[in-house]
Amino acid sequence: MKKFLLPVLFLCAQWCVAQIDRTGNPLEDVPFVEYKLGAGCNRLLYETGSQISIPDQAFEGCPNHEVTLRYRELTNKEHMVRSGVPMNYEEHLLESGGMFEVYAECNGQSIDLAEGKEIQVKFASDNQLEDMEAFLFNPEKQEWELVDNEFSEVLVATPSENDDQLWSGQAPLLKDGEEGPSSMTRTKKMFCLEYTTLTQGKKFECVPPNKLDSLLGVLKRDEQKDQNYVDSLRAVRDEMLRQERERERVRQDSLRQIEQLKEDRRIEVFRSMNIDKMGLYNYDRMIKEEETVPLLAKFKFQGKGWKDDVFVVYDGLNTVVRFSPSDFETRFALFPRNDLQIFVILKNGEVAKVSEQTLKALDFEKLKSKGTFTFVLKEDASAKGLELLAGQ
């Protein structure tokens, strides 16, 4: 029977302070949880269902039973705003498939993993993005860095007699071997005959005139063998194409069934990664394909307590774009979509935002030619805290 250490809610203390610069952020940060490790191997369970597996003698200069481990996850836009985590890598915006942050302490001091030791994090996530890569946050530069940590998707389903078809995508029964030459040639010289076959290679024989007919008969039979071989190759290729189409059909059906099983809570999806250092990790895809509309942006707000930074979020895109006042005239840009929200966090933790009516009416073709726009920010009593991100 598997045993799990359950977490205790813990607001981060001195040694485990998150690596993200939150200067001026009035919002309560996303809390860590703490685990008091036991001797030997440990398997920890986080509130989302994620699992952290720790080997024996995992840490430098400290036995496991003297270690306190602290862990948290940042999985949605509210977490991103509260924590202040940046969501860009070089010139690209990042869309997150989920982040986790982990630290360890022994006798009041921060410690690292011992050489050659790794922690396995099985991250429970419903946010399955294509082309994801692993990133590690650099606290000194306050930016993300690509890492070569391999990760895999792990599906854990409740057994059911109807679930067997989920795994019915099979490897190809036929493998494409080496082909023979793609052409055949014949050269006749007096009573000598030279030709190449797909099945037997090059042939060259000389015969007396009375044997030439028999040799031509052999040639005919060899040509028939070659034709049969070519026909068999075509049949193999046709079969492989058919099987490939069938595998793709099964794969698409499986993905649809997996999504249904996730909705019915009959399946869990974990993203598994082994890490050899503490820190903040992120599963992301780089958003490269969408064009943006650059603007010289101006903002009007008649109230008090505006913290200056402006946040932009888009429906269905798990990321937060953050602009400082120095960006308003140099790098402010929007995706040409009307399903967005633009807001600021006031010093009291409340929200002021651009009205939905204004954003729905944005004409991006005109904005491209005009190049400037003034956004009016208003406090919205219905948008307490970050409730405006709910369902985003």
Please name the fold of domain 8-158+266-283. Answer: Chondroitinase Ac; Chain A, domain 3 (2.60.220)
**What whole-number distance in Å separates Cα of residue 225 and Cα of residue 199?**
7
Rounded to the nearest 5°, which phi and psi values hold at 242?
A: -60, -45
Q: Average pLDDT over the chain, rounded to whole?
A: 78
When comparing pLDDT for 239 and 53, which is higher?
53
Most confident of 18-27, 189-198, 347-356: 347-356
pLDDT band at 244 (very low <50, low <70, confident <90, very high): confident
Which pLDDT value is given to residue 387? Answer: 65
pLDDT confidence band for 247 (50 / 70 / 90) = confident
55 versus 382: which is more confidently predicted? 55
Confidence of residue 131 (pLDDT cuts 50, 70, 90): confident
Task: Give the chain's count of helices (H) and strands (E).
Answer: 4, 25
- pLDDT of res. 220: 67
> Which range among 3-12, 121-130, 141-150 shows the weakest confidence by mean pLDDT?
3-12
- Residue 57 neighbours by CB distance under 10 Å: 14
Q: What is the reported pLDDT for 241?
A: 77
Write the CA distances from 140 to 20, 21, 71, 137, integer angstroms.
Answer: 9, 10, 20, 9
pLDDT of 193 higher than 90? no
Q: Is the pLDDT of residue 227 over 80?
A: no
- Which pair of structure tokens corresponds to residue 340? 């967005």
Q: What pLDDT score was predicted for residue 154? A: 73
- Flag whether pLDDT at 18 surpasses 80: no
Share of the chain above pLDDT 70, in %: 67
pLDDT digits (tens, 9 = 90+) for 99-128: 999 999 999 899 999 999 999 999 987 777
Is the pLDDT confidence value at 31 over 60? yes
- pLDDT at site 348: 83
Contacts for 337 with CB less than 8 Å, ≥ 6 apart: 314
Residues 235, 263: Cα–Cα separation, whole Å: 42
Could you read off the pLDDT of 257-268 as tens digits, one per residue? 666 666 665 557
Question: What is the predicted pLDDT for the residue at 170?
Answer: 29
Say which range, 166-170, 285-289, 323-327, has the weakest mean pLDDT: 166-170
- 22 pLDDT above the threshold of 90: no
pLDDT at 250: 74
Predicted confidence at residue 256, as pLDDT, reads 72
Output the CA–CA distances (angstroms, integers) from residue 260 to 226, 253, 256, 268, 271, in the order listed.
Answer: 51, 11, 6, 11, 19
Pairwise pLDDT comparison (373 vs 234), residue with the higher score: 373
pLDDT attached to residue 363: 94
Contact present, 320 and 311 (Cβ < 8 Å): yes
Q: Is 313 within 8 Å of 389 (Cβ atoms)?
A: yes
Of 24-28, 99-103, 246-250, give the lowest mean pLDDT range: 246-250
Distance CA 98, CA 262 (A): 17
DSSP conformation letters of 35-61: EE--SS-EEEE-TTS-EEEE-TT-BTT
The pLDDT assigned to 232 comes to: 62
pLDDT for 15: 42
> Residue 8: pLDDT above 90?
no
Beta strands in 61-149 (DSSP E): 67-74, 88-89, 92-106, 109-111, 119-124, 133-138, 143-146
pLDDT band per the 50, 70, 90 thresholds, residue 59: very high
Look at 13-22, 41-50, 212-221, 332-341 and tell me which has the smallest mean pLDDT.
13-22
In this prediction, residues 83-111 reach a mean pLDDT of 93
Confidence label for 288 from pLDDT (cuts 50, 70 and 90): confident
Indicate if the pLDDT at residue 37 is higher than 50.
yes
φ, ψ (nearest 5 deg) of residue 266: -105, 0
pLDDT for 242 equals: 80
